Amino acid sequence: MEDLEGLKQISDYPFLNRNMDVKTKYKAKKIKAVFFDIDETLRIKETGYMPESITYVFEQLKSKGILTGIASGRAIYGVVEDIRALKPDVFVTINGACILDKKGEIVYKDPVNPELVKDYVAWCKEKGIAYGFAGSDTAVVSERSQLVDDAIIPVYGPGLVDPDYHLSNDVYLMWTFADNNAELVLPENLESDLRLVPWHPHSSDVIREGISKASGVAHVLEKEGLKPENVLVFGDELNDMELFDYAGLAVAMGVSHPELQKKADFITKKVEEDGILYALEELGLVEKQLNFPQVDLSSIEGPVATIKTNHGDMKIKLFPEHAPKTVANFVALAKDGYYDGIIFHRIIKDFMIQGGDPTGTGMGGQSIYGDSFEDEFSDELYNVRGALSMANAGPNTNGSQFFIVQNDKIPYAQKELERGGWPAPIAELYAAKGGTPHLDRRHTVFGQLMDEASYQVLDAIAGVQTGAQDKPVEDVVIETIEVAD
């Protein structure tokens, strides 16, 4: 390949994830409480989907003695049953204006001054817009319309219609409902006491200055004898801004508002991608749930590479979630024709077959990143028989060369491997199928042969006659590598 410049944009490959830095992981050591927003954080509002991993997260945090809390703009009557079933220790609701314990009993409340509510209602009437209230036990709207329903029903249901509710009931928060909601600006007589926080295209929370999720969490911490540095928060929207400023550690979801992302210590994956579990595993606050794709390839989605050789084809499932830079490198080189016509220059029967060097000497090859790049070791991938791994000249020296493990026998029993630290499913796979366990944590595994026909081709290549430096007497040629995304 003559020109690699067009392949060096890592952003072209969506499976390259942001890495968590050492400073962020250090902050996690002080965490004694974790607070979660609900919508687009624990669950998807539109569909109600909540990953099964969320239950595991709460169980893990509680087992470690870490306080769990909900910090939401919702009132408690808007907290759906699947969230309540998680049994958090505390609910900070209505953007900090009302706090409840795990039994649902109110332990703190701070309603809006009635005169301020009256002034707010007068402004809404002057502007000709609908309004609403979060009361202690119900949501209330001034009128019923499609615009109001689109905003309020997904969270609270239809709600009570009573434009004068505030005259005889406590109000903890107000709402605007308007076509031009993003353009609304509070008048001078309200702007010093209230602020608008958009949460829907046609609605904003109307919150008192000084009242926020952060003020509610601060009240909880004071009671628990904790400090802000002891708190980790998850959120996605503008009503989490004060909380992100307050907490010692803040994680934004993958779909978060851009302004919130600027304040985050880490931006994790989306809800449907188990973003909360991923972040907490990276922080070391929950135990990693390990899955071993090489044990059951049929359960894994991902790109498939077909290495076409003059001895037959080998189909390989690639693992971009586990080795993103390595897979990106291999896929880009393959699609650019870099491997076309290159030989397997080193073949050792009962060990492996190695290729990917355009010079055919074992001394050449270049990655899409220009220089060599770092190893990507995964707790879930191993050099079992049929594994596709990166060849290297030592730590973090990956380029274009790769090998496929061919060895079908190992001198160790399964229990010996388990005692040596290998996970039981992998130890069993090694014992049954073979591999090269001594290469684990030395070479990046990023793919696995998929079918018996591919193993037959692998064994046929491994059986060719070789000469000096284990080079085949007759060339074993990679005709091309096709990748199906």
Residues in contact with 414: Cβ distance below 8 Å, sequence separation at least 6, in sequence order: 424, 427, 428, 430, 431
Q: What is the pLDDT of residues 464-481, one digit of tens each?
A: 999 999 999 999 999 999
Active site residue 37: yes
pLDDT score recorded for residue 402:
98
Mean pLDDT across the chain, nearest whole number?
93
pLDDT score recorded for residue 10:
31
pLDDT score recorded for residue 13:
33
Task: Judge contact between 34 and 231, C-beta under 8 A.
Answer: yes
Q: What is the pLDDT of residues 257-311, one digit of tens each?
A: 999 999 999 999 999 999 999 999 999 999 887 889 999 998 888 899 999 999 9
- The fraction of the chain above a pLDDT of 90, given in percent, is 88
Report the amino acid identity of residue 396: N
Distances (CA, A) of 43 to 48, 79, 242, 347, 465: 6, 11, 21, 51, 58
Task: Judge contact between 457 and 313, C-beta under 8 A.
Answer: yes
Distances (CA, A) of 298 to 306, 448, 481: 17, 12, 21
pLDDT score recorded for residue 19:
63
Task: Judge contact between 172 and 136, C-beta under 8 A.
Answer: yes
| pLDDT of 17 strictly over 80 | no
Q: What is the pLDDT of residues 207-263, one digit of tens each?
A: 999 999 999 999 999 999 999 999 999 999 988 999 999 999 999 999 999 999 999
Closest CA to 33 of 101, 89, 102: 89
Question: What is the mean pLDDT of the segment spanning 173-181?
Answer: 97
Question: What is the mean pLDDT of the segment spanning 30-36?
Answer: 98
| pLDDT of 326 strictly over 70 | yes
Q: How far apart are CA 132 and CA 73, in angstroms?
A: 14
| pLDDT of 371 strictly over 70 | yes
Q: How far apart are CA 78 and CA 90, in angstroms?
A: 15
Q: What is the pLDDT of residues 203-213, one digit of tens each?
A: 999 999 999 99
Q: What is the DSSP string of 93-144?
A: EGGGTEEEETTS-EEEE-PPPHHHHHHHHHHHHHHT-EEEEE-SS-EEES--
CA angle in degrees (0–180, nearest 5) for 217-221-227:
110
CA angle in degrees (0–180, nearest 5) for 429-435-437:
90
Q: What is the pLDDT of residues 446-456, one digit of tens each?
A: 999 999 999 99
pLDDT score recorded for residue 425:
95
Quickly list H helices, 247-389: 258-261, 275-283, 324-335
Rg over alpha carbons for the chain, rounded to the nearest Å, is: 29
User: What's the pLDDT band for 12 if we cut at 50, 70, 90?
Assistant: very low
Question: What is the mean pLDDT of the segment spanning 33-58?
Answer: 95
Only one residue has tokens 């009128």, namely 143
Domains assigned to the chain = 31-100+211-283 (3.40.50.1000), 114-208 (3.30.1240.10), 297-484 (2.40.100.10)
Residues in contact with 3: Cβ distance below 8 Å, sequence separation at least 6, in sequence order: none
| pLDDT of 422 strictly over 80 | yes
| pLDDT of 390 strictly over 90 | yes
Task: Judge contact between 326 and 15, C-beta under 8 A.
Answer: no
Per annotation, catalytic residue among 3, 21, 37, 296: 37
